[in-house]
Amino acid sequence: MHSEPMHSEPMPPDPKLLDPKDGASMSPHAAHAPHPTGSASGTAPAPQPEVLVQPDVLVQPDVLVRREGRDGRLGRLTLNRPRAINALTGTMVDLLDAALRDWADDPTVTAVVIDGAGERGLCAGGDIRAIREAVLAGTPERALAFWADEYRLNARISRFPKPYIAIMDGIVMGGGIGVSAHGGVRVVTERSVLSMPEVGIGFIPDVGGTWLLSHAPGELGTHLALTAARIGAADAITAGLADHYLPADRLPDLLDTLRRAPDPAAAIAAFDFAAHTPPPGRLTADRAWIDELYRGDKVTEIVAALAASPVPAAGAAAAEIAGKSPTSLAVTLRALRTARSMTSLEAALDQEYRLARATLATADLVEGIRAAVVDKDRNPRWSPARLDDVDPADVDRFFAPVDVDLGLAAALTAALAAAPDAGR
């Protein structure tokens, strides 16, 4: 969920335009713009065009939705809030979901690309300031509505019936993982920085993060979840959060290839990613001590094992964990262990929705967001402050059944019963 930004903005009026330059058809939800990724030399990307939607009113859509290439066969989604590192608002989630609904059933669209405007990253996460404000205003239902829509989008991406190509360039955190790592083709670059930093703000890895991390090799996901570590391209591939590496200066070539291809789906399958090797990471070399020391089912046991290890990186991990919300750590570890035995992302998202709902009643979420992005003192006062003081009964309450569930797993079961091929 994590990001520094922002406040939701009203949805712009429907542009319903044709781009005069290349004739790319415009979505009713947004407008065409050139590729936002700059060159490897650091030159700034071309400015995004303003879209005239009514006399004297100029707007910049928060998601650019358009069709490119031969006969518009390539669907293109660009998160377009570069000053906020493209952090997600509720409006953006709605726009993405609507486009994917349209394109899933449109036989003339054969593949979809998602990327981010600007030089800083694909997406820094979700609107955590707005979450905090909703809690303080006594309207937590606003946060729940955002999470419900976001998690439904994550599930839709994971089962999108065509190649969903995520350009995970730059910062990709929290909600940014949710709109990319569930896709079928996930591309990282030497500039990629991935993280699920939620335990540092009194929350839990969501947007399907518990599913992704619990299914990472060995205990790598446990390490990433509890430390909120930032990883680069090689480690993202090792952890199963990405598939391919491509130097950032080759991204325009990739997009041009997809635009020129008679069938973008066939073009992405044939693209020569194997010709490029990412800069070395650390997780492969660290895997032995990570798998050994993160095996426990109690965070206190894991931290003790890390602190006692002669491996310097293990001691550093123990110190990182010590600064996170004790309650969030305990809930996260249990969620990871539970998600590991689940049979679908949808089931994990249902669990995450219950856990997210429960965090709204805690002091740590509001306090963690305050320390991270409001006062920015990076000194949260957790309650309780120590792992040893976390009451197991309090953790149990996070996992208690609720009257209103998200229902994604049940909907999947019903869909598979009606059409057995739907989930394949």
pLDDT digits (tens, 9 = 90+) for 301-350: 999 999 999 999 999 999 999 999 999 999 999 999 999 999 999 999 99
Cα–Cα distance measured from residue 121 to residue 168, given in angstroms and rounded to the nearest whole number: 7
Evaluate whether residue 220 is within a structural domain.
yes
Token pair 């539970």 in the structure block, residue: 338
Confidence band, pLDDT 50/70/90 cuts, at residue 18: very low
- 346 catalytic residue (yes or no): no
Percent pLDDT > 70 in the chain is 85
Token pair 């993982």 in the structure block, residue: 177
The sheet that has 74-79: what strands, in order across it? 63-68, 74-79, 111-116, 164-168, 185-188, 244-245
Cα–Cα distance measured from residue 158 to residue 141, given in angstroms and rounded to the nearest whole number: 26
The tens digit of pLDDT for each residue in 204-257 reads 999 999 999 999 999 999 999 999 999 999 999 999 999 999 999 999 999 999
Cα–Cα distance measured from residue 214 to residue 298, given in angstroms and rounded to the nearest whole number: 15
* pLDDT higher than 80, residue 6: no
For residues 113 and 36, the answer to whether their CB atoms sit within 8 Å is: no
pLDDT at 114: 98
pLDDT at 393: 97
Residue among 169, 198, 219, 352 flagged as catalytic: 198
Residue 319's CB is within 10 A of a number of other CB atoms, namely 13
pLDDT at 2: 56
pLDDT at 109: 98
Among the listed ranges 5-19, 50-64, 249-263, 367-381, which one has the minimum average pLDDT value?
A: 5-19
Evaluate whether residue 207 is within a structural domain.
yes
pLDDT at 49: 35
The tens digit of pLDDT for each residue in 153-209 reads 999 999 999 999 999 999 999 999 999 999 999 999 999 999 999 999 999 999 999
Cα–Cα distance measured from residue 162 to residue 102, given in angstroms and rounded to the nearest whole number: 12
Instruction: Give 361: exposed, middle or buried? Use CB within 10 Å, 0-12, 13-18, 19+.
Output: exposed
DSSP E strand stretches across 180-268 = 185-188, 193-195, 244-245
Evaluate whether residue 22 is within a structural domain.
no
Going by their DSSP bridges, the two strands 185-188 and 164-168 should be labelled as parallel
- 118 catalytic residue (yes or no): no
Evaluate whether residue 216 is within a structural domain.
yes
For residues 225 and 253, the answer to whether their CB atoms sit within 8 Å is: no
For residues 45 and 79, the answer to whether their CB atoms sit within 8 Å is: no
Evaluate whether residue 12 is within a structural domain.
no
Confidence band, pLDDT 50/70/90 cuts, at residue 15: very low
142 or 6, higher pLDDT: 142
pLDDT at 424: 52
- 323 catalytic residue (yes or no): no
Among the listed ranges 5-14, 31-40, 98-107, 109-118, which one has the minimum average pLDDT value?
A: 5-14
The tens digit of pLDDT for each residue in 378-422 reads 999 999 999 999 999 999 999 999 888 899 999 999 999 988 765
* pLDDT higher than 90, residue 264: yes
Reported pTM: 0.86
DSSP code of residue 231:
B
**What values do phi and psi take at 386, rounded to 5?**
-125, 145
CATH number at residue 320: 3.90.226.10
Longest Cα pair distance anywhere in the chain, in angstroms?
A: 68
pLDDT at 10: 31
Which domain, by its residues, includes 341?
51-423
136 or 3, higher pLDDT: 136
Residue among 206, 243, 286, 364 flagged as catalytic: 206
Q: Is the peptide bond before 15 cis (omega within 30 degrees of 0)?
A: no
Helical H segments across 75-162, by residue range:
90-104, 128-136, 140-158
pLDDT at 423: 55
pLDDT at 25: 34
Evaluate whether residue 26 is within a structural domain.
no
Give the containing element (helix H, strand E) for 238. Answer: helix 233-238
Residue among 116, 126, 174, 368 flagged as catalytic: 126
Q: Give 6's contacts (C-beta < 8 A, 6+ positions apart).
A: 81, 84, 87, 89, 127, 129, 130
Q: How far, in whole angstroms, is CA 230 from its chain's centroid?
A: 14
For residues 230 and 396, the answer to whether their CB atoms sit within 8 Å is: no
User: Tokens standing for 232?
Assistant: 């680069």
pLDDT at 183: 98
pLDDT at 127: 85
pLDDT at 60: 73
Which residue in 34, 5, 9 sits closest to 19, CA to CA?
34
For residues 199 and 332, the answer to whether their CB atoms sit within 8 Å is: yes
The tens digit of pLDDT for each residue in 85-138 reads 999 999 999 999 999 999 999 999 999 999 999 999 999 999 899 999 999 999
Evaluate whether residue 375 is within a structural domain.
yes
Residue among 175, 176, 183, 209 flagged as catalytic: 175
Which one-letter amino acid corresponds to residue 10? P
- 126 catalytic residue (yes or no): yes
Question: What is the tally of structural domains in the chain?
Answer: 1
Q: Give 38's contacts (C-beta < 8 A, 6+ positions apart).
A: 44, 45, 119
Confidence band, pLDDT 50/70/90 cuts, at residue 353: very high
Confidence band, pLDDT 50/70/90 cuts, at residue 23: very low
- Which neighbouring-strand residues pair with 290? none
Please count the residues of the chain. Answer: 424
Evaluate whether residue 42 is within a structural domain.
no
Q: Give 34's contacts (C-beta < 8 A, 6+ positions apart).
A: 45, 46, 48, 49
DSSP string computed for 379-404:
----SS-SGGG--HHHHHHHTS--SS
